[in-house]
Each structure stands twice: as C-alpha cells, then as structure tokens.
A and B are shown apart, each in its own frame.
Chain A
Amino acid sequence: AQSVTQPDIHITVSEGASLELRCNYSYGATPYLFWYVQSPGQGLQLLLKYFSGDTLVQGIKGFEAEFKRSQSSFNLRKPSVHWSDAAEYFCAVGRAAGNKLTFGGGTRVLVKP
C-alpha cells in the first residue's frame, strides 16, 4: 500500500529565509508525486508534480522539489520565503495507472516578520 509521511507538523521560518519541507513516501513502483498548498479557507492548490525525467522540478510561487529515489523522498524547497507563503503544505503520491491520491499529514508553515 502506498503511504506518505511528512515528519514536520509545524515549521516557523523568518521572512526572507529559506524553507525546506520534508516528504517521504512508500510505494512499490515509480510514483507520481505532488505538492499541494492550502491557504486558510481555501482549497488545495497544486504547486508542482513529478512523474519522470529531471529529478528537480520547478513549480509555481518560486517552489522547487527534488525526487530522490534512493531516499524515497520528495522534499519541497523555497530559497526565500514571503509572508504570503504561510499555509499548510501537503505531499501526495499516486499510482502511475490509477487516479487515487494518498496524502501526507501536512506541514503548517508560519512566517515571522
């Protein structure tokens, strides 16, 4: 069965500092991996996705993520955080030929001025 772990429940970062959110997955084949962001009162917005090719993927809002098969990880990064990045971030994995997403528990990011 597929599963996703986000080890950090909360992260506090200063505005302008770098951010890295961890995601580890368990999956029996090549996974499709996603990061979604949820701002307060909003739905889930897709930040980026990985399914093949270059292991470093670029997304919206200046985010990037790196797929490391040897570590079963798909960590999300941003070099310089803005106050508007305060939100909850979800990593998700899907099957190559199916269409169900399995989500991690989420990481809530707080941005200090």
Chain B
Amino acid sequence: EPEVTQTPSHQVTQMGQEVILRCVPISNHLYFYWYRQILGQKVEFLVSFYNNEISEKSEIFDDQFSVERPDGSNFTLKIRSTKLEDSAMYFCASSASGELGNQPQHFGDGTRLSIL
C-alpha cells in the first residue's frame, strides 16, 4: 500500500536556526497537509496546500513557517528561525481529494523536531 514518507525521523536543531522537514506524499495525491503535536497535547492543523498554493492555514502558521513543493514528489515545511516552542512531532498528510468523505488523509510517521 502506498505510504507518505517523512524525513528525517528525528531532527535536533539549535534555537534560531532554520530547519526543513521533508515529505514525499502518495504519488497520485493532490492535497497536502502539515500537522504538529506538541508532547502531551493534541494534533493541530498547520496548513493545507493544493495546486502550488496554500489553501488554508491556522493561526500557528505565522511568517516563520513556509511550505513548498519544489518538484513533483517532495513537499517541505520550513521554519525560518526556530524557537523552543517549535519542539513537536510534525506530521505530513496527503489526500487524493479535498472532500474528506471520499478521500481521507493519509499520514506519514512524523518527524520529531527537538529545539535546543
């Protein structure tokens, strides 16, 4: 069964540094998402992306965050200047359609981001 692949599985970064989290969505999917889960808290929506532009973003997704689909297979999340509170598990997801009922979101195994 096709999978969403995320790399790296664990990223350790100094506060203030830039970090890029990478995702390879399922190949025929058109909608892409990032979520995060701070330790002990809920999974939170960050951003959705379709047709090379952001379709929705949460209040968490401020100017420090950006997303990109640099080629036909990768989908990246960049945090420009990391803060301690960015430490979390970041999940990438993809779906074949924006209509949730027909095509649910499939999630990767996540990248654990630790900011020192």
Contacts from A to B (Cβ < 8 Å): 32, 34, 36, 41-46, 49, 51-52, 90, 92, 94-106
Contact A104 B42 (CB under 8 A): yes
Chain B interface residue count, CB cutoff 8 Å, equals 28
The 5 tightest CB contacts between A and B, nearest first, are A51-B101, A44-B107, A43-B109, A103-B43, A94-B100
| A76 → chain B closest CB, angstroms | 15
Contact A46 B106 (CB under 8 A): yes
When distances are taken between beta carbons in the complex, the residues of chain B under 8 Å from A90 are 43
Contact A49 B104 (CB under 8 A): yes
Contact B56 A99 (CB under 8 A): yes
Contact B100 A99 (CB under 8 A): yes
Contact of B42 among A42, A49, A95, A105 (CB under 8 A): A105
When distances are taken between beta carbons in the complex, the residues of chain B under 8 Å from A45 are 107
| B53 → chain A closest CB, angstroms | 14
User: Beta-carbon contacts of B77-116 to A below 8 Å, as 1s and 0s?
Assistant: 0000000000000010101001111001111111000000
Contact B43 A44 (CB under 8 A): yes
B4 within 8 A of partner (CB): yes
When distances are taken between beta carbons in the complex, the residues of chain A under 8 Å from B41 are 105
Contact of A100 among B45, B107, B108 (CB under 8 A): B45
Q: Which residue of A lies closest to B105 (CB)?
A: A101
Contact A99 B55 (CB under 8 A): yes
Given A98-B98, A99-B95, CB of A43 within 8 Å of CB of B107 = yes
Interface contacts beyond A32-B100, A106-B43: sample of 4 additional A-B pairs, CB < 8 Å, sorted by A: A90-B43, A98-B98, A99-B56, A99-B105
Q: Which residue of B lies closest to A36 (CB)?
A: B107
Contacts from B to A (Cβ < 8 Å): 4, 6, 31, 33, 35, 41-45, 48, 55-56, 58, 91, 93, 95, 98-101, 104-110
When distances are taken between beta carbons in the complex, the residues of chain B under 8 Å from A34 are 100, 104
Q: Which residue of A lies closest to B110 (CB)?
A: A43
Contact A43 B108 (CB under 8 A): yes
Contact A99 B43 (CB under 8 A): no
Q: How far is the CA of A44 from the CA of B107 in the complex (A)?
A: 6
When distances are taken between beta carbons in the complex, the residues of chain A under 8 Å from B104 are 34, 46, 49
